[in-house]
Amino acid sequence: MPHHRSAFFISDRTGITAESLGHTLLTQFDSLDFQRETVPFVDTVEKAQALAQRISEVAERDHLRPLVFTSIVNPEVREALRLENVVLIDFFETFIGHLEAEIGQKATLTVGKAHGMVNEEKYDHRIEAVNFSLNHDDGVKLKDLDEADVILVGVSRSGKTPTCLYLALQYGIRAANYPLTPEDLGSPTLPKILLPFKDKMFGLTIDPNRLHHIRSERRPDSKYASMDNCRREVNEAESMFRHHSVPFISTTHKSIEEIASTIMHKAALGRKF
């Protein structure tokens, strides 16, 4: 008997929807080990039939029915994946019928609406937000912070850059970030460059032990990564946040998605597209 259960996330486009929804469901079974595979762009019956053959071979190998999550629009393509030796979780079949009945209108069944470039204006806004975050990473560009929707502040390696990029890509938020250096942390006073933008600031902090581990991978045996320095920087950053009533959260045990959602909620930010 295998130590895992095979799970396939299959889509006629990028696979993001099937993967996200399927992953969410599978996380509720944390005692099991799932061998996951995402298969995008299955948009013809021929492709689906070839994939179905491969999934059948996996079922014979594992002696367990693979879990197949699909977000395929075309019913004929979906049907080609409906095999006796697989468990098919069809997101379109599950939800579209209920929505059609409630709304009183047939779905268009158009491929690529969720993650395609359907609206160029919205897409351009999202790309502009990503470029803004890249240009304002680690305090590199500070002269137009008034254009930022939020400014993430925290010590080095507390998760500012990936959170800024996620906010930009997923929500269209113009997110800048400013790293608190040892010079900034000498007193609870905010860096002068940030004073005019205090209402846009949001702090990120992290457990000193976790910070020590992250920094040691980057610069081992350095003062920058030492436990004492990590503890001091985190304590002084948090003191600064409290002194100026800057909201902050710990990134220690949170995913980027959780961090971004928390910031959106606590900072009362809205999706920009």
How far is Cα 122 from Cα 165, in angstroms, rounded to an integer?
17
Binding residues: 154-161
Residue position matching structure tokens 């906010």: 167
Binding residues for ADP: 154-161
How far is Cα 43 from Cα 175, in angstroms, rounded to an integer?
36
CB–CB of 194/178 below 8 Å? yes
Radius of gyration of the chain (CA): 24
Strands (E), the chain: 5-10, 34-39, 67-70, 87-90, 150-155, 175-180, 201-205, 248-250
Question: What is the DSSP-derived secondary structure letter of residue 138?
Answer: G
How far is Cα 238 from Cα 246, in angstroms, rounded to an integer?
9
How far is Cα 244 from Cα 193, in angstroms, rounded to an integer?
15
Cβ count within 10 A of residue 43: 17
- In this structure, what is the dihedral angle of CA atoms 201, 203, 204, 205, given to the nearest 10 degrees? 160
